[in-house]
Structure 1
Amino acid sequence: MMQTFTVQRPAVHSPHGLVAAQNRHAAEAGAAVLSRGGNAMDAAIVTALVLSTVEPWLSGVGGGGFLVHADGRTGATETLDFNVRTAAGLDPADYPLTDGQSGNWFAWPAVIDERNVSGYGAICVPGAIAGFEAALARHGTLSWEEALQPAIEHAERGLEIDWFAALCIAIDAAGLSRDPASAALLLDDGHPPKAGADTRRFKPMARKAALLRRLAKAGARDFYEGESARMIAADLEAGGSPIRAGDLAAYEVAWAPALAGRYRDFDIAALPGLSGGPSFLDAANRLESGPLSRETTPAQTALLYASAIREAYATRLTTLGHAATPQAGCTSHVSVVDRDGTMVSLTNTLLSRFGAKVALPNAGIFMNNGMMWFDPRPGQPNSIAAGQKPLANMCPLVLSRNGRPVLAIGAAGGRTIFPTVLQLISGLADFGLSLEEVFHRPRIDASTPRIKIDARAEADVAATVATAFPIEIVEDTLYPVNFSIPSAVMAAPDGGFIGMAHPTSPWAAVVAATA
């Protein structure tokens, strides 16, 4: 006998500010910063640093990301790119394709031994530490040392092994077991850990805590040029990575004006360049020019979504990348608003679950598998190349009205990110739904060869979308993750702020500042 449950998550309201994140511990740490008088950037960086310990399968200081900052008083927006970069000495010939697969723009061919997906050859130079420090220095009020303290405390205590953490580790236990440092950190004698039945159980991260304490005293650049950098470079070289000390020392973040767009009465601030921002705006423009109105049925709406997203993806995967002609215009997401209405939308990622499935033995941190973001086929706009940033899927956004930020939104979930964010924003702008309502509305995903349809959708949605595209009806499950995991904070129409986290994610939370 099958049991069916309906999961509802209420919106959280506060006049003092909110932090929405995929883990309650991290959101609580950020909200505590707001309660003590910190601003949105302070809270966002503290939250992201804590996330690197409490959900190491999704994000971390061994990865990279993007953020959008919008000033609540002036409305000014700015973006920061701290994404990963390949080594200067990388040789694309080290990533040969498997035989018999030509691939296409939706399904790239595999690389021999999946060396672009896991192991030391999949690692790119991480930008998270540089990005977090730069963001604080420019828009925060906390010192770098203060911002690191909650993450240090969580690393010393360790990852809590509850049922969800045990599940996430079990999913990738085979990959983690191939790396001695990862296995020692998370597995029990080579096997997935079991959640404590009667008491809380933790996996301490002593080496990571030591690294963070060193960075708190020596500064963030120590990760790239000091004692920490020498340790990290030695770990990487010993494992077979092409990354050297010079690659770490050469890493720099990039501030830039936001890529501006508009959807209905929202002004949109997105990341320019090699992000999900340009493709989101492309899809939004296509959707806005179509016959979408409050009278459009859910089935016709789903078909319009699928068409706009699919067409935007065709452009994205065939024309965008580090070698393309410049054009106008598994992951953790954090959305924050402070008491002044300043908003930060920040996405940080290791890419796949546990990134490259590599924990540096001395530094104690999980590393990204950024090579996976490059098209492994030579001669493409986003082909594997030395000293380059990949075309990333992250799509943090801040939306404004009348010159003031009203919505910070983003999601985790690779290629599913901008399709999800587009549908949420459309629900607000096109159908007048509340933030809580759009987060519970069934979605589609058009980022794969077959359009995925949420099984909760109206009966005629699948049939209608199937008139134009191959489809697959799927559940919105914890694993596999068929739809991305969004979070958002929004200015409430009647004053104060509203926040929402993904309803079916067990640790996702919105936490309110208390003062």
Structure 2
Amino acid sequence: MQDNFSTTQLVTKPGVQSEHGVVASQHIGAARVGASILADGGNAVDAAIATSLALGVLEPWMSGLAAGGCMMVWHAKTQRCQVVNFGMRAPESLNPADYPLSGKGVASDLFPWQHVVDDRNVMGATAVAVPGLVAGLGLAHASFATKHWADLVTPAVNLARQGMLTDWYSALMTGANAKSLANDPDTAHYFLDEGKWPIVSGWTAVEQRRLDQSVLANTLAILRDDGPEAFYKGRIARELAKDIQAKGGCLSESDLASYQAEIVEPTLWSDPWGTLYAAPTLTGGPTLVRAMSLLSDQVFNGNRPDAATYVNIANALTQSFSERLTSMGDHESADAPGCTTHFSVVDREGNICSVTQTLLSIFGSRVTSPSTGLLLNNGIMWFDPEPGKPNSLAPGKRCLTNYSPVIGTTVDGKQFGVGASGGRKILGAVMQLSLFLMRHGMTLSEAFHQPRIDISGGKQILADLTLPDEVINELRAVMPTNRARRHVYPYAYACPAGVMHNHAMNSGCTEIYSPWGDAVAADHS
């Protein structure tokens, strides 16, 4: 493999420890919001709600109020795990006939479905599914939180009033997608300078520029004052449905009003080394549990994975993905990163939240609701536009997703919450991190620095450049293997975030190459 990058540069990111709780997030600003809630006496769910809403402001192309996802909740006192499921679904008035196949091969975004005329399932208001994030947060708040709802929304309101600070990384993300962002005037106004190029601070790092998120701030203020119901039955719902329909979509006020999040039981895997609780049904959880079960009889030697370990991981992922693609209808491109964010929270009592939320593609549908300031999802792309398939497009149907947050327990009494962003790459990353923690007894920081491989149902293995030649040679006996670096953009691997409760001490860590991601400890005062 050849590229332009230094071979001597070493990147590390120490884990954070605290007796008072830790938030690990893909944006340090959101982690600080969650940590402040913990420091003020809030529990893990309180901090998760505040972190989630802050991420929609600080990482708007990854998630937001128009997103979907799920939250794993570990109750330390009862040693029980529950799942708050708030995945997206198709609008009831959606007509599959409005998404005719063009006959021009496959689509160019995340999924290699047959191409639809005008990319109606990929971009624009016709790609918008019913979002579930606010309903999920509202249900989590009603069921598990201790702080007032308004106190958890206020930090996001304040961040939006200030506006997201732009830098080289935000310029990279917007610049790489500027062509598609320019197609919607409201999105171009939101993210692009004069509708053409990224909004970025001065190159001397003295001049700071921020996105104008004042409309989003107004929406968050309504959500703060009127509660989560306002998103689905109040002022926000009316404006959101009006904007989507004005731009050609079919999502209606009745779609929003009828949406309900739910609390469900997790998918469970257990062996003598510990227990893993994964998201159920239409997520990556069942496939993750299947892959873990294929490794139950394998021997894991030593404190670090060896060549045999990586081979076993590759074989388990290959088989489990083959079964998934056949039975569940998920045919995502293994090379596509997705537009997702993950964060994990642990509080002083050992309660844990592992939360993944997503707009699906990077910048979702690339369409912005001008009345609400929300960048909209493109959840309709999760469905296969060809009829008669397990995951074919249909009105009111739940979306099949790839996110896979987990809660795990180890044989020596530790608990952890881990998840990742990265489309189909999520599953393998979460699986390997769980194995590193459960089978090899690593600390969280050690696990996050350990090289990983990626095999996402394709015909090759991607292996970290730092893995020994012995490991690479063994992997090549399984299938073609290429070496790929962990770096900032594009990600060859998933971008994880995790926390661990080790008796009286908590820890947190994020992907070492993520420039914004970090773990923040709650104030010890």
Instruction: Compute the TM-score of the two structures, normalised by the length of structure 1.
Output: 0.94
Whole-angstrom distance in 2 between the partners of 1:427 and 1:231: 47
Contact 1:298 1:458 (8 Å CA) reproduced: no
Partner residue of 2:461?
451
Among residues 52, 57, 61, which one is paired with 1:57 in the alignment?
61
Contact 2:243 2:371 (8 Å CA) reproduced: yes
Partner residue of 2:333?
none
Among residues 245, 248, 255, which one is paired with 1:240 in the alignment?
248
Deviation at 1:62, TM superposition (A): 0.8
Partner residue of 1:325?
none
Deviation at 1:427, TM superposition (A): 1.4
**Does residue 1:422 correspond to 2:431, yes or no?**
yes
Whole-angstrom distance in 2 between the partners of 1:175 and 1:32: 37
**Does residue 1:114 correspond to 2:119, yes or no?**
yes
**Does residue 1:33 correspond to 2:37, yes or no?**
yes
Deviation at 1:232, TM superposition (A): 0.5
Among residues 292, 303, 309, which one is paired with 2:311 in the alignment?
303
**Does residue 1:508 correspond to 2:513, yes or no?**
no
Contact 2:317 2:457 (8 Å CA) reproduced: no
Among residues 392, 396, 399, which one is paired with 1:387 in the alignment?
396
Partner residue of 2:230?
222
Deviation at 1:91, TM superposition (A): 1.6
Structure 1 vs Structure 2 CA RMSD? 2.1
Among residues 353, 363, 368, which one is paired with 1:359 in the alignment?
368
SS at match of 2:287: helix
Measured against aligned partners, the alpha-carbon deviations of 1:423-482 in whole angstroms (never above 9, x if no partner) come to 111112222322211111111111152222222221233332222223332222222121
Deviation at 1:347, TM superposition (A): 0.8
Among residues 284, 289, 299, which one is paired with 2:292 in the alignment?
284
Q: Give matches, 1:267-346, under 5 Å.
A: 267-294=275-302, 298-320=306-328, 330-346=339-355
Partner residue of 1:481?
491
**Does residue 1:158 correspond to 2:163, yes or no?**
yes
Deviation at 1:376, TM superposition (A): 3.0
**Does residue 1:20 correspond to 2:24, yes or no?**
yes
The 3 A distance-change label for structure 1 pair 226 and 13 is same
Q: Give matches, 1:70-81, under 5 Å.
A: 70-81=74-85
Contact 2:103 2:114 (8 Å CA) reproduced: no
Deviation at 1:297, TM superposition (A): 6.4
Partner residue of 1:177?
182
Deviation at 1:404, TM superposition (A): 7.1
Partner residue of 1:252?
260
SS at match of 2:439: helix
Aligned length: 506
Deviation at 1:120, TM superposition (A): 1.2
Deviation at 1:142, TM superposition (A): 1.5
Contact 1:30 1:47 (8 Å CA) reproduced: yes
Measured against aligned partners, the alpha-carbon deviations of 1:282-304 in whole angstroms (never above 9, x if no partner) come to 00001223344339963332221
Whole-angstrom distance in 2 between the partners of 1:404 and 1:222: 42
SS at match of 1:169: helix
Deviation at 1:111, TM superposition (A): 2.8
Whole-angstrom distance in 2 between the partners of 1:252 and 1:297: 43
Identify the range of structure 1 (262-271 vs 128-137) with the bigger mean alpha-carbon deviation. 262-271
Whole-angstrom distance in 1 between the partners of 2:106 and 2:211: 43
Partner residue of 2:334?
none
Identify the range of structure 1 (470-479 vs 159-168) with the bigger mean alpha-carbon deviation. 470-479
Whole-angstrom distance in 2 between the partners of 1:27 and 1:384: 36
Partner residue of 1:213?
221
SS at match of 1:159: coil
Measured against aligned partners, the alpha-carbon deviations of 1:85-113 in whole angstroms (never above 9, x if no partner) come to 1011112222233426489x995433333
Whole-angstrom distance in 2 between the partners of 1:321 and 1:107: 12
Partner residue of 2:449?
440
Whole-angstrom distance in 2 between the partners of 1:368 and 1:10: 34
Measured against aligned partners, the alpha-carbon deviations of 1:7-64 in whole angstroms (never above 9, x if no partner) come to 0011111011100000010000000000010000000110010000001111111111
Partner residue of 1:327?
none
Deviation at 1:262, TM superposition (A): 1.3
Whole-angstrom distance in 1 between the partners of 2:346 and 2:284: 22
The 3 A distance-change label for structure 1 pair 349 and 297 is closer
The 3 A distance-change label for structure 1 pair 400 and 182 is same
Deviation at 1:319, TM superposition (A): 1.2
Contact 1:22 1:505 (8 Å CA) reproduced: yes
**Does residue 1:10 correspond to 2:10, yes or no?**
no
Measured against aligned partners, the alpha-carbon deviations of 1:195-217 in whole angstroms (never above 9, x if no partner) come to 23313221120111111111211
SS at match of 2:263: strand
The 3 A distance-change label for structure 1 pair 466 and 132 is same
Contact 2:199 2:209 (8 Å CA) reproduced: no
Which amino acid is 2:453 matched to? I
Contact 2:510 2:518 (8 Å CA) reproduced: yes
SS at match of 1:417: helix
Whole-angstrom distance in 2 between the partners of 1:299 and 1:121: 47
Deviation at 1:353, TM superposition (A): 1.1
Whole-angstrom distance in 2 between the partners of 1:303 and 1:70: 32
Contact 1:333 1:412 (8 Å CA) reproduced: yes
**Among the aligned pairs, what percent are the same residue?**
37
The 3 A distance-change label for structure 1 pair 464 and 97 is farther
